[in-house]
Amino acid sequence: MSAYADLTSLIGWLWFNMGDYRNAQHYYDEARNVAHDAENVELVSYILCTMSQLATWQGKPRVGIDHAVVAGVWAEQTGSPKARAYAADVAVRAYLADNQRDKSRATLDLERAILATVQNAPSASSWWYFLRRSVLLVNRNEVRAQLRRPRRRDGGGQSIARPC
């Protein structure tokens, strides 16, 4: 079931990268449900992170926040600092897209603390293959640059989440 959930998540990611967000959401939902059935907490956290990115990218940062916060709760149960770091990373981006700068800064500080524990060595799980300290540093600097920009008067914000 975990392999099926992982492959289904990958299909969702491919739809996301092609810009078909409706199909991406469908496959992410299916993957998350199957990962829960498999009781694979780390995979559930990963899929929720990708769902957060999708929502934030679509201009729905509050939905992105929901997914990121829940991803963080599941990540705490994994014992994986990479799972926790990724959940914090997508939360920072969702908070920033929703103009919640204080929460974004606080979560960025949390991510920095987690980052200090993340090693460049490969993770036991393939889901975190892309997550190296250098990637998180680049993301952190990108978010910091966004935080230094003045708020828009209309309250809108530009999503900075990007599909891989």
Average pLDDT score over residue span 135-162: 63
Q: In the chain, which residue ranges form alpha helices assigned H by DSSP?
A: 2-18, 21-37, 41-57, 61-78, 81-97, 101-115, 133-148
The position carrying tokens 């920072």 is 92
Question: What span, in angstroms and rounded, lies between the C-alpha atoms of 150 and 40?
Answer: 41
Question: Where are the chain's structural domains?
Answer: 2-148
pLDDT classification of 164: cutoffs 50, 70, 90: very low
Q: What pLDDT, on a 0 to 100 scale, did the predictor assign at position 150?
A: 65
Q: What is the CATH number of domain 2-148?
A: 1.25.40.10
pLDDT classification of 142: cutoffs 50, 70, 90: confident
- Using one digit for the tens of pLDDT, what is the confidence trace for 20-65? 999 999 999 999 999 999 999 999 999 999 999 999 999 999 999 9
Give the pTM: 0.81
